[in-house]
Chain A
């Protein structure tokens, strides 16, 4: 009984409570979390060159929007990495 009490007290003394200070991952703007949409396809019965042009220019616009989001995602990541690295640990 005495040994058990001693063991318990020793374990109690050795157990440490540590304070951890953490920084949660910063929230990402919702627009940057959206994936790139699939490209628009032409109907099989398309006969006019103007319809082809409209479709292609629309897909090019989708590409440019996606490209802009990618560039802004990289900018967001690099800026937040600098901010995080600046925290003195």
Chain B
């Protein structure tokens, strides 16, 4: 039935049934031609040609129902996908707004912490004598595991 796939929706039924009717009439005409002397020479070509067309058109006509159902299902699925894509776009907008907001809040807190450090830095630096081991241990922790 893949051949029906090639025919647009509007023409599908008309075309298939039209060919069916033509092939029936052609087959009948072929039988008549075989009994009329002037046309007897061409009768086999007409009869068997239209008979072949009749077989093909019956086959296609039988596939019309499933083809229509299949096309409706595809259309419904494409509509669902379009809706899903629109929803995903909205989700992205919401997430992007949240990211910006969260980063802003973290940086605000960071600024406040640095201000507090600056307030007390003279006092704490005077009281504390840093051992170099502190720096190397902190840096080792910051580096993390080697891969």
Contact = CB atoms under 8 A, between A and B. Distances in A.
Contacts of B96: 29, 31
Interface of A: 15-19, 21, 23, 26-29, 31-32, 38-44, 46-50, 52-59, 61, 64-65, 68-69, 72, 75-76, 79-80, 83-84, 86-89
Interface in B13-43: none
A2 to B, nearest CB: 15
A76 B87 CA distance: 12
Contacts of B95: 29, 32, 72, 75-76
> Which DSSP category, helix, strand, loop or mixed, fits chain B's interface?
helix
A86 B99 CA distance: 26
Interface residues of B, number: 45
Contacts of A47: 130
Contacts of B106: 61, 64-65, 68
A40 B87 CA distance: 39
B125 A72 contact: no
A39 B91 contact: no
A57 B114 contact: yes
Contacts of A28: 92
B73 to A, nearest CB: 9
B7 interface: no
Contacts of B69: none
Contact of A41 (B74, B98, B120, B143): B143
Given A21-B77, A23-B81, A47-B130, A40 B124 contact: no
